[in-house]
Structures are given as structure tokens and as C-alpha cells.
Structure 1
Amino acid sequence: MERIAIVAYKPNPGKEEALRTLVKKHLPCLKQHGLVTNKEAFILETKDGTIVEVFKWASEKAKKSANTIPDIQQLWREYAKVSTYTPLNRLSEAGNLFAEFTPLN
């Protein structure tokens, strides 16, 4: 069964462009390994510059197997160097009845 993922990355100071570059690589890397559907991801930005990515895993099994693929693990290590994973409830937009974001794609 397909699963929707929503993840937020708060850029480290001075790493905004590096984060944007990584986000552009993420879905193609996951697609290369057959882990996500062909549906395009939503790449969004909050008022404070946090990037929110919404995409669809192909299955629960695909999601779990991502942790075993070296180039995906490397990409995620790069994310850790330029950003902090942020729970959605910490986004100021999440407090609104209709959360609004700036689309980046």
C-alpha cells in the first residue's frame, strides 16, 4: 500500500541553497530505486525558510528498504549536514486551520 510522507527540513545558517539542491536530488534518487511512485513531490517553503517535502512511497516495504541503500543513506547524511529535521507541529503554519506554504516546484 502506498504511503504519503511529509518531512520538514530547517536549513542550518548559511545552508539554504545547499538544502534546496539536495531536495531536488531526493525524489529522483528514490525513484531510481523504485521506492516512490511517479507522482511528483510537492516542495514547499515556510515563512522561516524551512523546506517541506511531500511525496508518496511506493509501499511500506519500499520505505523500510530505503535505509539499506548506500546512495540514499549518503544523501540523508548530506541532509544532516545542512539541515535539521523538524516536526511538522513546530512549523508556525501548522497552527493555522489552512496551512499555507510557498511552492518551490
Structure 2
Amino acid sequence: MAHTVIAVYRPHEGQGDQTLELLRTHLPILREQGLATETDSVLLRSSDGTFLEIFDWVSAEAVESAHTNEAVQAMWERFAKVCDYATLDALPEAGRVFAHFERIAL
């Protein structure tokens, strides 16, 4: 059963473009490794420049196996150089009943 996740990426100062570039490769790599579904993802940008990526892992086991997958680990190392992971409640929009975000084309 698929597991939908909302991943939150806060770019380091001046690293927004680099973060976006990596996000465009994220799901294809997960799919190549058999970890993410073919369901279209959604990429959003918060008013503070933070990115939200909504996608589906193929299963709970896929999430776990990502932590030992060499291709995924290498990708996550590239992410660590340009952004930090954040939580939804850290977003300026989090306190709004109807939160609005900029949709980014992939």
C-alpha cells in the first residue's frame, strides 16, 4: 500500500535554485530504485522559499530500504549541502485555515 508523504525542504541561504534542481531529480531516482510510485508528485513553494514535495512511497518497507540504498544515500548527501529538512508547522502558512502556496512545474 502506498504511503503519501509531504517532505519539506528549506534551502540554505542563496541555494533555492540548487535545491529546486535537486528536487527535479529526486522522484526519478526513487522510482529507478523501485521506491516511489508512478503517481504524479506535487511541488509547492512557501512564501519564505521553502519547498514542499508531495509524493507516494510504494510501501512502508520502501521507506525503510531507502535508508540503506546507496543511490538514495548519495542523493540525500547532495540535498544536505543545499537545504535542511523542516516540518510543516515551521511554514508561515501553517497557521492559516486555507494555506496558499506557489505550484512549481516539474
TM-score between the two structures when normalised by the length of structure 2? 0.95
In the alignment, structure 1 segments of 5+ residues that lack a partner are none
User: Where in structure 1 do 4 or more consecutive aligned residues deviate above 4 Å?
Assistant: none
In the alignment, structure 2 segments of 5+ residues that lack a partner are none
1:74 aligns to 2:42 (yes or no): no
1:93 aligns to 2:56 (yes or no): no
Cα deviation, 1:7-50, whole Å, max 9, x if unaligned, reads 11111011111100000000000000111111111010001100
SS in 1 for 2:26: helix
SS in 1 for 2:13: coil
1:75 to partner: Cα distance: 0.7
> In the alignment, residue 56 of structure 1 is paired with which amino acid?
D
Aligned equivalent of 1:33: 33
Q: Distance in 1 between matches of 2:79 and 2:9?
A: 8
SS in 1 for 2:47: coil
1:68 to partner: Cα distance: 1.1
> In the alignment, residue 93 of structure 2 is paired with which amino acid?
E
Equivalent residues in 2 for 1:51-66 (5 A)? 51-66=51-66
Q: Distance in 1 between matches of 2:3 and 2:58?
A: 7
